[in-house]
Amino acid sequence: MNTLRPLLMHVGALLWILLSGATALLAQNDDLLSLLEEEPEIEYTTASFKTTRVVNGHSIENTGAGVLDFKISHRFSPINQGFYDIFGLDGATIRIGMDYGISDRLMVGLGRSSKEKIYDGFVKYKILRQATGKRQMPISLSALADAQIKTVRFANPDRENRFSSRLYYTFQVLLARKFNDYLTLQLMPTLVHRNLVETRAEKNDVYSLGVAGRIRLTRRVTLNAEYYYVLPNQLASQYVNVLSVGFDIETGGHVFQLHFTNSADMTYKGFITETTDRWFGNPNGIRFGFNISRVFTVVRPPEFR
């Protein structure tokens, strides 16, 4: 009995220490949980759109840091040409482009269009990101600067033709909110500057307001639409506003965008300031078109190396 008493005392002391430590740990965990409940981590909104374009114009989305987005776009001839031209499929304008994410906020891109042989380049920076949690931000906000150069031969090579006449610039603000998993809306105040215009009645600076939206139909399919309203008294009377409606279909690393639009152009100066065909009325010029987006990881983030 005398030999067991010291052993029992040591066991009792050890149990008391363990129980005291467990109680302290539980109290600390409760404090941490209450702290997390009071100040949750920042959760940024993602997938407002499936890709960096709505249809013709940019969406609020950027490519990820180190990711290259290769795009092929077609706009066919008007579908009212009938079966002889397979409802416009015999003719097409094409744009091939590449977008690259320098960071999660900064993206650059280059492209070349067959119409007027235009080369374009842009820089897009995300200023604000919609977020919940510790930092609340109800919207996402990006700024876009785009330049285009027309390289088709001058119609009259004998006259004085200036290089500056080939240049066009676009400045745009993208303001978007993803309301839930099914609805995203976006506003796009836009300025298109044209160094050369056809008549004195037209403005070199053209202001427009774009609106766009996305509705999720299934996990991989969305309905997209965009419309650009050009403010009055800036363009000649034959030019109209551009409306585009279509579907985004996500298949692994590809996003297929199938849509209908009344513009053959895929550059800002083209579809905002030079659209002449109408959805309804004369001339009727609804066109089928598509964008194909394929992303490649060029530089892996440090955590995945």
pLDDT in tens, 238-253: 899 999 999 999 987 7
DSSP 8-state code for residue 85: G
Condensed to tens digits (0 to 9), the pLDDT of residues 43-55 reads 999 999 999 999 9
Do 67 and 52 contact (CB within 8 A), yes or no?
A: no
Helices (H) and strands (E) in the chain, counts: 2, 14
Average pLDDT over residues 173-194: 97
- Residues 28 and 135 grouped into a single domain: no
CA distance 219 to 226: 21
Q: What range defines the domain where residue 275 resides?
A: 47-304
Residue 2 has pLDDT above 70, yes or no: no
What's the predicted TM-score (pTM) here? 0.83
Q: What is the pLDDT of residue 37?
A: 53
Pair (157, 20) in one structural domain: no
For the four alpha carbons of 202, 74, 77 and 277, in that order, the dihedral sign comes to negative
Mean pLDDT check: name the lowest of 19-28, 70-79, 165-174. 19-28
Give just the sign of the alpha carbon dihedral 288, 213, 211, 62. Answer: negative
Q: Considering its fold, how many domains does the chain have in total?
A: 2
What pLDDT score was predicted for residue 10?
Answer: 47
pLDDT grade, residue 39 (50/70/90)?
low
Tell which residue, 113, 156, 64, has the closest CA to residue 264: 113
Q: Are residues 31 and 88 in the same domain?
A: no
Residues 77 and 23 in one domain: no
Is the model's pLDDT at 28 over the cut of 70? Answer: no
Is there a single domain that holds both residue 183 and residue 118?
A: yes
